[in-house]
Chain A
Amino acid sequence: MWTTLSKPARTAPRTSAVIWLSYGILAVVAVVVVLADVLAPHAPNHQDLTSVLLGPSTEHPLGTDDLGRDVLSRLLHGTRVSILAALLAVGIALVVGFPLGVLAGYVGGWPDAILMRLLDTVMAFPALVLAIGITAMLGPDITTAMVAVGVVLTPVVVRLTRAQTMAVAGQTYIEAASSFGARGVRRMILPHVVPNVVQPIVAQLAVLMGFALIAEASLSFLQLGVQPPTASWGTILARSYTFLERAPMSIFVPGAAIALTVFALNIVGEEVQRLLDPRRR
């Protein structure tokens, strides 16, 4: 049994069932995001005070909340809100972080040193605390909250991109391109550097997305993100937590939705990383 120890095992081994399950979960989430209006049996904010805190029934498959709103419909619409919010945060981190990372990695020298120093400082703040600080100053709502999450994710993207760019910049093909006179953004960075940097970042996107989803849920739970009555995973959890004693299981489904989605994103992220790894072959 000791002989197995010398085998390289960088990433966790996965059974294909878990991987396929993860693809399945993400497919379901994607369908819900696109078709939330069609799939939801009721309007997400429609209150019916004659039927509050009902258990599951054919009319309300997941029951109703304390204002008589259909939990399933709120969950479906909330999925769309949460996913789009997380996409916004990751998008901001990418748009700001990727070019900075490529420049820092390619140019090097003092611009790189200054930028990294600044990013080290930003990373010294616990991500959620800094996000709360930024949101608090800008005024709490979902856009500012996701801008804040995008800001705290940016250093992660810059570091990844920078490391990858530095590895690429030392390659022979870059030297070759440079000896043919390739220079500047249009002739060197865009055609030669960027395509070779993109792949590992793509694999990380899934993980960043998972972080952004949890951050959205946390901030909305604290009422610093999505504002009621709009449904999101965080606001649904916050609401159901207030009537926990009367309906303890109402917290289960929205939390499980977050956990399953983030789990699937992490598994798929690892899988993509494995598939893109040239050493695999």
Chain B
Amino acid sequence: MRIASAVASRLVWTVPTLLLATLVAFLLQQLIPGDQAVALAGEYATDEKLAAIRADLGLDQPVLTRYLDWIGGVVTGDLGTSYRTGQPVTEIVLDRLPVTLVLTLFALLVAIVIGIPSGVAAAQRPGSWVDRLFTTAATAGIAIPNFWLGMMLIAVFALQLGWLPGPGGVDFADDPGNALRALVLPAIALGMVGSAEICRQVRSAMIESLGSDYVRTLRATGLSRWSIVWRHALKNSSLPLATILGIQVSHLVGGAVVVEAVFGLSGIGSLVVEATNQRDYVVIQAVVLLAAVIVLVTNLVVDISYRLLDPRIS
């Protein structure tokens, strides 16, 4: 029952946002300067060709009709047809999605594995040299562009040392082992900024938890420090942690675009860049919408999970 009501209350919020997001993604097309048919076919296209494109894309219809048409397709999983390749956009996008999802998950793992322990360590003694070291490192980590970090990792670990594969992804179907190895450097490049942000959030949440009354009581009962920090205080810091993880997914999906370009991975990030160069507007629109859907679904899951985890939230 609690699960059902938690899900329902969040869906009431998410569905309208999702609808508005489709509107934003659709209206992006209205930004194309001048005549879209000319933009697609080139300046020297004949009038018949332009008319054909207009009819084909429904450009002769009012904007609202086109939106309703498009959204009707989106709901049924039809994102339109690529104007460049003639392939269904849904097919193109689904083909590229797994690489991005695996990369994002790997990067999230990197961010968590580095971010949480360093945040906990920094929170032990605020103001100590350990704390200063970690917080300064975290500020530096946030400042490093992920694609530059990726290039540096390639220069050192792929070109100099030859430990890991450099740019150029491997198809999962061909060679799963090497495909995963090829994702190690991109995941580190992408996850490092996230680890710095997680470190800062965990630090401040842990300082608050460790300073609270129940921790003092736990200490009085003679519980070991390890158990207080990791079992009790960290658990009570899990709400801000869940929120930051939700935000991280958004950052990681955005960052994946550039990191994929550096490492030559064929995910939806490199797809949107290719589509931009080819002015394949339908594909761009689809990727932008998909990115928002990934973020909204993640936030939905995060929200529902902490309603279930924390009985204080009703």
Contacts and interface: CB of A to CB of B under 8 A. Distances in A.
Nearest to B32: A137
Nearest to A256: B148
B152 to A, nearest CB: 7
B33 A138 contact: yes
Q: Of A14, A117, A128, A255, which is in contact with the most chain B CB atoms at under 10 Å from its CB?
A: A128
Nearest to A214: B145
Contacts of B200: 12
Interface string A134-153: 11111110000000000000
A239 B126 CA distance: 43
A23 interface: no
Which residue among B32, B203, B262, B291 has the maximum number of chain A CB atoms within 10 Å of its CB?
B291
Contacts of A221: 147, 258, 261
A241 to B, nearest CB: 6
Give the dominant DSSP class at A's interface.
helix
Interface string A240-272: 010011001101100100111111011100100
B127 interface: yes
A97 interface: no
Contact of B125 (A4, A14, A121, A241): A4
A30 interface: no
Interface size class of B (residues with CB under 8 A): 35 or more
A1 interface: yes
A118 interface: yes
A9 B255 CA distance: 31
B118 interface: no
Given A136-B275, A210-B143, A259-B140, A129 B31 contact: no
A262 B126 CA distance: 24
Contacts of A125: 21, 24, 288, 291-292, 295
A81 B132 CA distance: 34
Interface stretch (B180-188, B279-287, B302-310): B279-287
Nearest to A254: B148
A85 interface: no
A6 interface: yes
A43 interface: no
Contact of A124 (B17, B139, B147, B273): B17
10 contacts: A4-B125, A4-B128, A5-B126, A124-B250, A129-B257, A132-B288, A210-B143, A259-B144, A259-B148, A261-B143
Given A125-B295, A137-B28, A217-B148, 17 more contacts: A1-B125, A4-B127, A10-B204, A120-B17, A122-B24, A124-B21, A127-B250, A133-B28, A134-B31, A137-B31, A210-B142, A214-B145, A244-B154, A262-B144, A263-B139, A263-B140, A266-B139
